[in-house]
Each structure stands twice: as C-alpha cells, then as structure tokens.
C-alpha cells in the first residue's frame, strides 16, 4: 500500500484549522516544529486539563483527502488543513491501518500510528452538520470515526506535498485503531 502527501499544514496556536504551507519539519519524539500540538506530553487542551503529564500520542494528525470527496457529496466544502490535520494524504486507507503501523514519508520521516482522532463539536462550529458527516454508525451500533488518525514521530525530517508514503504493517495480530 502506497500513497501521496497532498498537503501539509501547521499552526502555532490552538485554532481549529491549520495553514497549508510548502513544507513541515517533523521532529522525532515531538511532532511538527512550530505546531501547537508538538511535544512529548499531551498538548490538546482538553487532555491537558485531565493530566498534563500524559504522553502525547497525537503528535502528527493525518487525514485522507478521500474524506473531503465524501463530505463534498453531502454538500460540505472542506480543504486541506481545514480540519486541523498536519498531513493530508491520498491513496491510503488510513482508517483501516492497524495500531503500530509505520508510515514512511518522503526521504526520512517515520510516523507510528497510535489511533483515531475523536471528532468534536468544533467541527460543527466550522460547518454546521459536518460532525455527523464524519461519523457513521454501523448496523451493529459501532461508531466509525472518519476524521483521521494520530501518530507519534519515530524519525524526523521534512515533509512536502507530493512526497510518497509507504506503509509498514506491524507483526500480527493486528490491533484495530481506537480513539486517542
């Protein structure tokens, strides 16, 4: 399984959307240089309130551009960076990856998949009704979160639009992604 980086984004503040930039520097063990969510300990404000010493399992956020196509068919206009992701991808089933998968991006970057992004009400503040569009309930009642995956950084480097993404699966048994 291979894919491509469509766009990269970062934001030094805790804003919902991130600005698309030509490249981002990824720092091992921290995340995206200059991004508010970079760090060894958790940076998401709701998680900091609970326990600021928690390890940051959400250093780099990836969303598949196929989600934008899906929500466009439902009347929403979403572009790269709009949902707060650092890396927008195409060609990889991010939501289907098992926990522990390694994503090799560009020449050097290695990200380890930790889990699913849990979409929050801020998505509806961005565009009313979008939260329901990025969530799905299966027939068995299972909630499917479609708003991307979270990763930690094993190896740093620079990521740009157009970079290739290779997938290295962990040894079985594969563990499904859960919200982090």
Which domains are assigned to the chain? 2-168 (2.40.33.20)
Mean pLDDT value across residues 94-99:
98
Is 2 a residue whose pLDDT tops 90? no
pLDDT class of 60 with cuts at 50, 70, 90: very high
Mean pLDDT value across residues 141-162:
96
Q: What is the pTM of this model?
A: 0.96
Contacts 24+ apart (CB under 8 A), 94-98: 94/62, 94/63, 94/64, 94/148, 94/149, 95/64, 95/144, 95/145, 95/146, 95/149, 95/177, 97/149, 97/167, 97/169, 97/177, 98/169, 98/170, 98/174, 98/175, 98/176, 98/177
- DSSP E strand stretches across the chain: 2-10, 19-21, 23-27, 31-32, 60-64, 87-90, 102-105, 109-116, 135-137, 143-145, 149-155, 157-160, 164-168
Write out the two tokens for 17.
Answer: 């959307």
d(CA 31, CA 110): 11
Q: What local confidence, expressed as pLDDT, does residue 103 receive?
A: 98
Q: What local confidence, expressed as pLDDT, does residue 43 receive?
A: 85
Q: What local confidence, expressed as pLDDT, does residue 18 receive?
A: 98
Is 178 a residue whose pLDDT tops 90? yes
d(CA 57, CA 114): 6
Residue found under tokens 């399992």: 57
Q: What local confidence, expressed as pLDDT, does residue 157 receive?
A: 98
pLDDT class of 72 with cuts at 50, 70, 90: very high
Is 79 a residue whose pLDDT tops 80? yes
Mean pLDDT value across residues 39-46:
86
């Amino acid at each position: 399984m291979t894919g491509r980086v469509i766009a990269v984004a970062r934001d030094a503040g805790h804003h919902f959307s991130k600005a698309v930039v030509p490249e981002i520097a990824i720092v091992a063990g921290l995340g995206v240089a200059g991004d508010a969510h970079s760090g060894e300990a958790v940076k998401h404000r709701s998680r900091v309130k609970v326990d600021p010493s928690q390890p940051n399992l959400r250093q780099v956020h990836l969303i598949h551009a196929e989600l934008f196509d899906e929500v466009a068919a439902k009347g929403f206009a979403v572009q790269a960076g709009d949902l707060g992701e650092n890396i927008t991808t195409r060609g990889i089933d991010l939501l289907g990856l098992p926990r522990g998968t390694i994503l090799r991006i560009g020449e050097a970057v290695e990200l380890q998949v930790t889990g699913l992004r849990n979409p929050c009400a801020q998505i509806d503040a961005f565009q009313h009704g979008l939260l329901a569009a990025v969530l799905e309930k299966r027939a068995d009642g299972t909630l499917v979160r479609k708003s991307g995956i979270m990763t930690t950084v094993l190896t740093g480097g620079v990521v740009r639009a157009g970079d290739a993404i290779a997938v290295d699966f962990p040894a079985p048994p594969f563990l499904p992604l859960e919200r982090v």
